[in-house]
Amino acid sequence: MYLRDMHNTKGHISEITTGTWHPTNRDLCVTAGTDSTLRIWDCSLRMRQKDVIVHKSRAAGSAGRTRMTAVCWGSSPQGNSSSLVAAALDGSLVMWNGEGPYNRPSAEIRDAHERDTWTGGLDISSDGRTVVTRGGDDTIKLWDTRKFKSPISTVSHPSTTSQYPTTAIKFSPTSTSIVTGSPDGTLHILNPATLKPEHTTPITPSSPLISLLWHPKLNQILTGSSNAETHVLYNPSLSSRGALDILSRAPKRRHIDDDPSLTTDTSIALTGDIIAPNGNLNAARAAGERRAAPLTGLTASGRSRDPRRPHIPLTTPFAKTNPDERHVRENIPLSSMRDEDPREALLKYAEKAEKEPLFTGAWRKTQPRTIYADVSDEEVEPEKKRVRKG
């Protein structure tokens, strides 16, 4: 009963696929899982969830359960309640009132995308009137929340859900554009009404573009690719701060100690200065270049060629570099045992001790095999505490 009725569980009972924050309330967030539920969490309520939304699949053979693949929480600027939209693996697209109650969805489309395809891209426009989805059936569809029955526009676009579960698609902060990626690493900017590409920019060739974010305040686009690269796209006249602050700063000046040409190693002259005898600067410079050693590896004396790295004296086990090593070996008895491995030294006598025992030889005939008593943990009585005499 605990696992059948999702309302009685204290959290997801299987994998969490995605999550998002409330558009205005920073204390609320929602997560979607493969247990066919959406769960709303309040940061002020620790160790428990606020609400549970159970999606009952109507697909044949699903037993009323499916996997929730994407969720989005959007608001309306007219002061209306927010909208909560989620996509499922059975191809359905479900919408609830964002502020509740969540007993029944306000609208549902059963065959929004092809069944058993992962719809990983979902977003709501800033005015809360349109929803865009990117499914695993290689299509992008635009929906109207006021007539949530059939798509307004549908275009073909290759999906990456066969390898990566997230195939982000986002509205711009003003909902005047839609951005999404492609398997070949190209960023597509689409028309929000017709879904036709207005601009394409290659970001990471041959690496799928799987995550996107259009920052509303900075007005910059952040992209993430499957090759672990992150890129920031900005407009010098329309964007603010962010990447502009980084590019406007002067390059950091290197400290004089970071210059490898300046060194105090006497093997390549003091501080790297050139001493020109008789004023012959060119000859001295050429001689200095010939004497210059690479900055990697060690010299013949064991010193590092990098002048910035301090010299570490050569040490070996048992102080073999001690000048009195010969005196210690000749005059101190058993001094050679310092070079032996204690474990190996003891194992040398293991076979001899087994054949000719020194301390247990009296039992060789009466008890050739040692027998130990089997004592369980219950038989071991704790030691009695000593009574302190007053």
145 vs 380, residue with greater confidence: 145
Query: What value does the mean pLDDT take over residues 186-200?
Result: 91
- Please answer whether residues 63 and 119 qualify as being in contact, where contact means their C-beta atoms are separated by less than 8 angstroms: no
Q: Is 289 helix (H, G, I), strand (E, B) or coil?
A: helix
What pTM does this model have?
A: 0.59
pLDDT digits (tens, 9 = 90+) for 333-351: 777 666 677 788 888 888 8
Cα within 13 Å of Cα(255), Cβ side: 3
Q: Mention every residue, 6+ apart, whose C-beta is less than 8 A from residue 128.
A: 74, 75, 76, 77, 80, 82, 83, 145
Report the pLDDT value the prediction gives residue 77, as an integer from 0 to 100: 61
Q: What is the mean pLDDT of the chain?
A: 79
Question: Does 67 have pLDDT greater than 60?
Answer: yes
pLDDT digits (tens, 9 = 90+) for 195-217: 998 999 999 888 888 889 998 88
Give strand pairing partners of 29. 21, 41
Rounded to 5°, the CA angle 26-32-33 comes to: 145
Q: Residue 262: which pLDDT band, with cuts at 50, 70 and 90?
A: low
- Which backbone phi and psi does 314 adopt, to 5 degrees? -75, 120
270 vs 197, residue with greater confidence: 197
Q: Residue 177: which pLDDT band, with cuts at 50, 70 and 90?
A: very high
Q: Residue 29: which pLDDT band, with cuts at 50, 70 and 90?
A: very high
Sign of CA dihedral 99, 102, 104, 105: positive
Cα gap 166→160, rounded to integer Å: 8
- Distances in Å between the Cα of 134 and the Cα atoms of 93, 295, 345 are 12, 54, 70
- Distances in Å between the Cα of 97 and the Cα atoms of 38, 83, 101, 133, 145 are 13, 5, 7, 19, 11
Q: Which DSSP category does 13 fall into?
A: S
Query: What value does the mean pLDDT take over residues 218-246?
Result: 86
Lowest mean pLDDT among 78-87, 160-169, 309-318, 338-347: 309-318
Cα gap 284→277, rounded to integer Å: 7
Q: Is 180 helix (H, G, I), strand (E, B) or coil?
A: strand
Report the pLDDT value the prediction gives residue 284, as an integer from 0 to 100: 52
Report the pLDDT value the prediction gives residue 272, as an integer from 0 to 100: 46
Q: Whats the size of the chain, residue-wise?
A: 390
Question: Does 99 have pLDDT greater than 60?
Answer: yes
Q: Residue 271: which pLDDT band, with cuts at 50, 70 and 90?
A: very low
Report the pLDDT value the prediction gives residue 296, as an integer from 0 to 100: 63
Report the pLDDT value the prediction gives residue 109, as an integer from 0 to 100: 92
Cα gap 73→84, rounded to integer Å: 5
Question: Does 359 have pLDDT greater than 90?
Answer: no
